[in-house]
Amino acid sequence: MFLKNKTYNIYPLNVGSCNGCDIELGALFSSKYKLEKWGLEINENPKKADLIIITGPLTIKSKNFFQKALKSSNNLKGVIALGSCATSCNLFWDNYPVYGPPDKFTKINLYVLGCPPKPEAILEGINQILGLKIKKPKVVIPYGFRGRLKYDSKKCIGCLTCIRFCPAGTIIAKRTEKGLEMEYFYGKCTFCGMCAQHCPTGAITLTSDYKMIEKDKKKFVTKGKVKK
C-alpha cells in the first residue's frame, strides 16, 4: 500500500566519506523502515534529485563531481550535510586533500550530525526537508553509544587534558582575567569519547542523544566558564 502518490528522489553525494555515513543511509532504506511506502527512493541521477544528501568532507578529487551534481539538479528541495565530515570535515579538517567542508561552496539546508548519524536521525532530517511525517520505529540506543556532548563547567578544573586527547580540534580554551572559557564545537566531533574518558572529574560527557539536527551548525556547541 502506498501512502503517497508522489516519488521523492534522494541522491546520495559521497565526496570523500569513509562510507560509515553511507552505510547508515543504506540501512535507512532497508525493509525495516519501509520508506518505499512514502515514495522515497534512492536515485543515482542527480538531475532528478528532490533531496541531495552529502557525505564526506569534500576532497579535492571530488570537487568537480560535487559541483556538477549540484548544478544539474532541477527539482531540488534541499541539501542535507550528513555526518561530522560533511558538516565540518571532522578530524580531516587539516588534511591536504580536503577542500571542504561542503558548505564553503553550497547552501546546506540541514546538518544531521554524528559519526555516523543513526538512521532515525537521518529520517528526521528527511522529514524536515520534504515536509513528511514518516514515523520511525522504536529507537534502540546500543550500550556505549556516544552522542551529543555535555559540558559541566562546575565540575571542570581547567586541566585541559580533554584538549590534549581530542583528535579533531574540537575544543577551545581561552584564558581571561576572570578564569577559563571552554568551548566544545562538537559539529566537528568524531565522537571518539577520548575527552570524556580522560577527564578526571566527569565534566565532559557524551550523552545518548543521537538527534543532533540543526539548520545552523554553529548551534552544535556546548560551553562554560571555569572561574578563578
Residues that bind ligand SF4 (CB under 6 A): 17-18, 20-21, 55-56, 83-85, 90, 115-116, 156-162, 165-168, 170-171, 184, 186, 189-195, 199-201, 203-204
Rg of the chain over CA atoms, in angstroms?
Answer: 19
User: In this structure, which amino acid lies at residue 20?
Assistant: G
Q: Quick one: how far is CA 202 from the chain centroid?
A: 25
Contact partners, residue 13, CB within 8 Å, separation at least 6: 46, 52, 53, 54, 55, 66, 69, 70
Nearer to ligand SF4, 59 or 84 (CB): 84
Residue 130: which of 21, 38, 212 has the closest Cα?
38
To ligand SF4, the closest distance from the beta carbon of 180 in angstroms equals 8
To ligand SF4, the closest distance from the beta carbon of 214 in angstroms equals 15
Residue 202: which of 146, 164, 162 has the closest Cα?
162
Residue number of the CB atom closest to ligand SF4 = 20
Nearer to ligand SF4, 46 or 101 (CB): 101
- Rounded to whole angstroms, the Cα distance separating 23 from 25 reads 5
To ligand SF4, the closest distance from the beta carbon of 209 in angstroms equals 14
Q: HSE on the CB side for 9, CA within 13 Å?
A: 14
Nearer to ligand SF4, 34 or 103 (CB): 103
To ligand SF4, the closest distance from the beta carbon of 75 in angstroms equals 26
Nearer to ligand SF4, 137 or 200 (CB): 200
Q: Quick one: how far is CA 126 from the chain centroid?
A: 13
To ligand SF4, the closest distance from the beta carbon of 133 in angstroms equals 27
Nearer to ligand SF4, 41 or 181 (CB): 181
